[in-house]
Amino acid sequence: MTRRERVLFVGLQVFLDVAMVVLAFLAAYRLWLAFPLRPIIEMAPLRQYLVMLGVQVFVTLVVFFFYKRYHRTRIISYFDEVSQVFAGVSIATVTTVALTSFFFKNSALEVDYSRGMVVYAWGLTIVFVMVGRVVYGAATGMLRSRGIGRERVLIVGAGDVGQQMVRRAQMSPELGYDIVGFVDDVLGRERVQGVRVLGTTDNLADIIDGYGISEVIIALPEANQNELLRLTDRCQDKGVTIQVFPSVFQIMASEVRLGDLNGLPLLTVRDSALRGWKLSLKRTVDVVVAGITLVVLSPLMLLLALLVKLDSSGPAFYIQKRMGLDASPFPMIKFRTMRQDAEAETGPIWATADDPRRTRLGAFLRKTSLDELPQFVNVLLGEMSVVGPRPERPVFVEEFRQQIPRYMYRHREKAGITGWAQVNGLRGDTSIEERTKYDLWYTENWSLWLDFKIILKTFIQVFRDRNAY
């Protein structure tokens, strides 16, 4: 992306923010006149509120600047955007009221503003600014589709992680990533995922110059510290943006606490965020969500149970032993999607696309994730949570714990119907190592908002998840 393109994108975002704040303020004034929260004795004319509007616009831009809303030109998830806009607008509104009262009290510009109108302005500004973010996303997506503001990206490492990044970039063209090629020291093939392998890391600097690379992504999660330093050193002299895919330890150490042992410094690795009152809060939400879901969807579940019985011989429900909190086994309930005794000959095996063991209805239930609905009973019984690491069968847990560092740490929380890894595309026959990283990040960064975000993303993911089988 050129400097001119960057200025264009930032300028567009600032313009939309200003426009949305002004429109929200004007709409709040009209709304207050039409629907006052209390009887109005005398409402000041709009022109007397223009000073407050000017302060609101200025303060909002300053707050968004310090929130680093204008330091990046790429859109983020709208779920994340909502929380940032909510916090930014709330701070800006309180600051505006304080500054207006402090500087313009007993002056010719003083206005006896209505508290109700301030509340309207606060709520409408959040809504309007979010609308502006959607417009910004659509506009920048259109510009990037026409070749404006695109980044020429080089991926170091053509393994599973690098290939996953290519797939994500291809699925999201609005992000404007042009994957120019891979750099890899091991792979001998010329192309991976349709992308050329341009050379080895020894030629990294020459490849950056020769192909006009603007961003380098190091997709080597198992690389040691010396290797990462060597790679970043070769990139830094070229003025490119460098991004590194984290290892398990880097995720663990994303926030560490410095302590000491009688003067000796020690780093305390982050513990689970779900402790104390947070456990009670999460359990309360689980009971409420599971109770409402089972009541509302009980007719649908009854119909699905009947259809499963009619579709093939065997019970409507399938109960399977899974590993949950503290690696304790529990009976997980699902609608049956496989033939009766499907694993009699093969034993426990991993589900794959076009699984021949599925019934006709079972394929549909897995694709839409409707087979998971009975697990809300597990949630109500306290064996599972609505959101958490997905539970695995004991035979697979025993296998993974020998292969993957800190795999058992995910069992320090209740298993979930959906999880952070699943809404990020890691379902079905995908990398267990990557799933574990997402699970560890979730347990160490839990918040109620994160749970709600995962639930909302799950609803969206149901309709477009290619790994649901």
Q: How far apart are CA 132 and CA 390, in angstroms?
A: 36
Tens digit of pLDDT at every position of the chain (469 positions): 677 888 888 899 999 999 999 999 999 888 888 877 666 556 667 777 788 888 899 999 999 988 777 876 565 667 778 888 898 999 999 998 888 877 766 555 555 667 778 888 999 999 999 999 989 888 888 888 777 888 888 888 888 888 888 887 877 777 778 888 888 887 666 777 788 888 888 888 888 888 888 888 888 877 777 888 888 877 766 778 888 876 654 554 455 555 544 454 544 455 566 777 888 889 999 999 999 999 999 999 999 999 998 888 888 898 989 988 888 899 999 998 888 776 666 666 666 666 677 788 888 888 888 889 999 999 999 999 999 998 888 888 888 888 777 778 788 888 999 998 888 877 766 777 778 888 888 887 888 888 988 998 888 876 555 555 4
Q: How many CB atoms lie within 10 A of CB 199?
A: 16
3-state secondary structure the chain: CCHHHHHHHHHHHHHHHHHHHHHHHHHHHHHHHHCCCCCCCCCCCHHHHHHHHHHHHHHHHHHHHHCCCCCCCCCCCHHHHHHHHHHHHHHHHHHHHHHHHHHHCCCCCCCCCCHHHHHHHHHHHHHHHHHHHHHHHHHHHHHHHCCCCCEEEEEECCCHHHHHHHHHHHHCHHHCEEEEEEECCCCCCCEECCEEEEECHHHHHHHHHHCCCCEEEECCCCCCHHHHHHHHHHHHCCCCEEEECCCHHHHHCCCCEEEEECCEEEEECCCCCCCCHHHHHHHHHHHHHHHHHHHHHHHHHHHHHHHHHHHCCCCCEEEEEEECHHHCEEEEEEECCECCCCCCCCCCCCCCCCCCCECHHHHHHHHHCHHHCCHHHHHHCCCCEEECCCCCCHHHHHHHHHHCCCHHHHHHCCCEEECHHHHCCCCCCCCHHHHHHHHHHHHHCCCHHHHHHHHHHHHHHHCCCCCCC
Q: Are 410 and 251 in contact (CB under 8 A)?
A: no
* Conformation bin of residue 261: beta by default, left when phi > 0, alpha when psi is -120 to 50: beta
Rounded to two decimals, the pTM is: 0.63
Q: What is the CATH number of domain 151-245?
A: 3.40.50.20
| Structural domain boundaries in the chain | 3-145, 151-245, 277-462
* Cα 186-190-191 angle, rounded to 5 deg: 105
Question: Rounded to an integer, what is the distance from CA 368 to the centroid of its chain?
Answer: 21
> Which residues are bridge partners to 338 per DSSP?
358
Q: How far is it, in rounded angstroms, from Cα 142 to Cα 131? A: 17
CA distance 331 to 176: 46
Scan for tokens 């890899």, then name that residue. Answer: 184
Which pLDDT score is estimated for 107?
58
Task: Report how far Cα 345 is from the mean position of its chain's Cα atoms.
Answer: 40
CA 385/CA 370 separation, integer angstroms: 17
Q: How far apart are CA 252 and CA 437, in angstroms?
A: 9
- Strand 215-218 relative to strand 195-199: parallel, antiparallel, unpaired? unpaired
Contacts of 213 by beta carbon, 8 Å cutoff, 6+ apart: 152, 153, 154, 180, 207, 238, 240
* Residue 389 falls in which region: left (phi positive, over 0), alpha (psi -120 to 50) or beta: beta
pLDDT at residue 296, as a whole number? 92
Kindly give, in sequence order, each residue whose CB lies less than 8 Å from that of residue 119, ignoring residues fewer than 6 positions away.
37
Rounded Cα gap, residues 432 and 443, in angstroms:
16
The tokens for 228 are: 């990462």
What pLDDT shows up at residue 253?
Answer: 47
What is the C-alpha separation between 21 and 379, in angstroms, rounded?
43
The residue count of the chain comes to 469
pLDDT of residue 189: 64
Beta-bridge mates of residue 195: 192
